[in-house]
Structure 1
Amino acid sequence: MVVLYNLIEAASIMSAENSHRSVDAIRAVSRQLVRELGFMGGDFGGTDLPPSAVHALIEIEGGGVSARDLAMRLRLEKSSISRMLRKLVEAGAVQEEAGSEDGRVKRLSLTEAGRKRVEAIHAFARAQVSGALGRLGPGQDHTVLEGLRLYAEALGATPAARPVAPVATIVSGYRPGLIARITAMHALHYARTSGFGQRFESVVAAGLAEFCDRLGNPGNEIWAAMQGNEIVGSIAIDGEDMGAGTAHLRWFIVEDALRGSGCGKRLLDGALAFADEKGFCETHLWTFSGLDAARHLYETRGFVLAEESPGTQWGKEVREQRFVRRRQ
């Protein structure tokens, strides 16, 4: 027993030492990464701006952002955000507008000069990343991506890292107010982020109302993410409008406050599991270019870009895209 105890104790010590070495090695690589990316000074993102301002411009580019939103996303104090925004406004890169729902909340957007600056930041960053990946061996780019994603998600999982949104419950089927609520979420979000107007809202409302009349048919289902009695997200599988053997994924959206909470992933995974269970050979979805976060989520679930062309079905010319996923 004494020998066994000593062996267990020795193994425990070695495990602790290995753990400390891993932690120290990761810290050292993290410091090197910070230096190489320019966080310690010099050009960051190919600009003369501090890293926080570069990140702020990229967040503002997505649309619908207030100063309070920026403070939460960048984890900066309100006073620091105020000073930074004042400088960006004075530099002509950012403009402030009173919110449509609450005039006291100022929505931030990029000016034309700001958009050009962000385009230059993206071009510099893509070249920087492409250059680094070009020096790696075959397949190592996926190793880098997965490692960074896992590490970032693990860091963000600390309780103090971000405010925790109440957990949403996913429920299926129609409920009173569903058509109006899902239409409103789409209309408000895409008016803010993409400039869509009445035509887009009418298309969403008409399509959703027609679909709900067919909810009793096999292969059709709709899900809502609920917080209490409020709908905060949605997704649907239409098994009829694209022909036999093909499911159409439609009306996928979550409220801004739920983004990053995993609610969207739960909605999407549930809908795709339904499509697979019903035996659909393929699942198609229509979207448009520029929605990079959504595209990444689709691609991690097996969707592949199959078609891309200019279109105006939503009332404004965009580069429409059709993604296809084969049954898993």
Structure 2
Amino acid sequence: MSNKIKLLRKFNRDYFNRLRVFDSHYNNNFSVTETRILYELSIHNKLTLKEISEVLHIDTGYASRIIKKYTNKGYISKVSDNNDKRSNYLSLTTLGEKIADDINKFENQRINSILEKLDSDSQSKLIDAIDTAYSCLNPKKESLPIIRTHQPGDLGTITHFHGKYYADTYGYTEIFEAFVAKDFSEFILNFDKKKDVFYIVEKNGKVEGSIALQHRSNESAQLRFFYLSPALRGFGIGRILMNKIMNFAKKTKYKHLFLWTHKGLDGAHTIYEKNGFTMTETKIHSLWKENLEEQMWELNL
């Protein structure tokens, strides 16, 4: 056996042990394959049995038995394909979505527990190494998005994204971009790494999204600057960003979170609702768009 093979097998054993993949209670008694099926359905919305088998490289009969089990439990529903009545699409029910979200949160906590043991430099080296490995093994696929904390240059990029996107999509004036720049400046000038966090989504070396939590008191914090480029939407990255924020808020022992958003951002509002936020206040103003309805959402932890 070559040293290269030994090294790869050694890494596989170590990584699987760290994830506790062989634990009989893995993900609250869901097996690895069962977890992956729920995950794939949560990010693709609907899949056929054949597609699930191909994605996971598992036997169709094995996948079918799991699907039958999940259907009986009310996790999965079947919808007929309009183009082929012999074929069914599979999608998660509301109950299935909740279970998938719970498992996803648990998985994120599991990975975060590994990262927390490393300093920032070691985390960057690990993520870069994993990204390189993924690119080598999947040369025809683009590199995976990475989520990191902010660094010099991010402020201007995210400000530009906010200004450009909201102008093109919702007709905001440059006044909105000016307010974003002002708020970003206040955030960074008063940044406290024990109370604040600012996550950046990066793909192929380009900034593609962000989310932040800014302390307002020892017990309250504001969720801010939540943005994800359209190309990365629909893959569960928004949920991952929110999970990281929620984990940080609980670790920091905040008792109250709030945010300001506006009417029409349905995708973001769904994520807020799934994390327990409720809309508590609305107001109309015309600072950067005529008769814009802004909304405050709050969560007591």
* TM-score for the superposition, normalised by structure 1: 0.51
Is 1:277 matched up with 2:251?
yes
SS in 1 for 2:254: coil
| Change beyond 3 A, Cα 1:311–1:276 | farther
Amino acid at match of 2:143: P
Is 1:266 matched up with 2:240?
yes
User: What corresponds to 1:171 in structure 2?
Assistant: 148
Is 1:317 matched up with 2:266?
no
SS in 2 for 1:30: strand
| Change beyond 3 A, Cα 1:211–1:259 | same
C-alpha deviations, 1:189-247, integer Å up to 9, x for none?
Answer: 1112111121000000111012111123631221111224321111111102xx44111
Contact kept? 1:237, 1:271, Cα under 8 Å: yes
Equivalent residue for 1:198, pick from 166, 174, 193: 174
After superposition, where does 1:41-190 map in structure 2 within 5 Å?
144-147=93-96, 166-173=143-150, 175-190=151-166
Contact kept? 1:284, 1:325, Cα under 8 Å: yes
SS in 1 for 2:253: coil
Q: Any runs of at least 4 consecutive aligned residues in structure 1 with deviations exceeding 3 A, and if so which? A: 18-23, 25-29, 143-151, 163-166, 312-316
| Change beyond 3 A, Cα 1:226–1:144 | closer
| Change beyond 3 A, Cα 1:269–1:29 | closer
CA positional deviation for 1:164: 6.8
Distance 1:201 1:307 in 2: 23
Amino acid at match of 1:194: Y
Structure 1 alignment gaps of length 5 or more: 1-14, 41-142, 152-162
Contact kept? 2:256, 2:299, Cα under 8 Å: yes
User: What corresponds to 2:231 in structure 1?
Assistant: 257
Deviates more, 1:228-237 or 1:202-211: 228-237
- Report the aligned-residue RMSD: 3.6
Query: Between the two proteins, what is the percent identity of the paired residues?
Result: 26
Amino acid at match of 1:166: S
Q: Tell me: higher relative CO, structure 1 or 2? Use CA pairs within 8 A at least 6 residues apart.
A: 2
Distance 2:261 2:273 in 1: 13
User: What corresponds to 2:6 in structure 1?
Assistant: none
Contact kept? 2:145, 2:203, Cα under 8 Å: yes
User: What corresponds to 1:208 in structure 2?
Assistant: 184
C-alpha deviations, 1:16-53, integer Å up to 9, x for none?
Answer: 7x839949x9999523x859xxx99xxxxxxxxxxxxx
Contact kept? 2:143, 2:204, Cα under 8 Å: no
Distance 2:67 2:149 in 1: 48
Distance 1:290 1:212 in 2: 28
CA positional deviation for 1:296: 0.6
C-alpha deviations, 1:100-150, integer Å up to 9, x for none?
Answer: xxxxxxxxxxxxxxxxxxxxxxxxxxxxxxxxxxxxxxxxxxx95345899
SS in 2 for 1:185: helix
- Equivalent residues, number: 192
Amino acid at match of 2:283: S
* TM-score for the superposition, normalised by structure 2: 0.55
Is 1:305 matched up with 2:282?
no
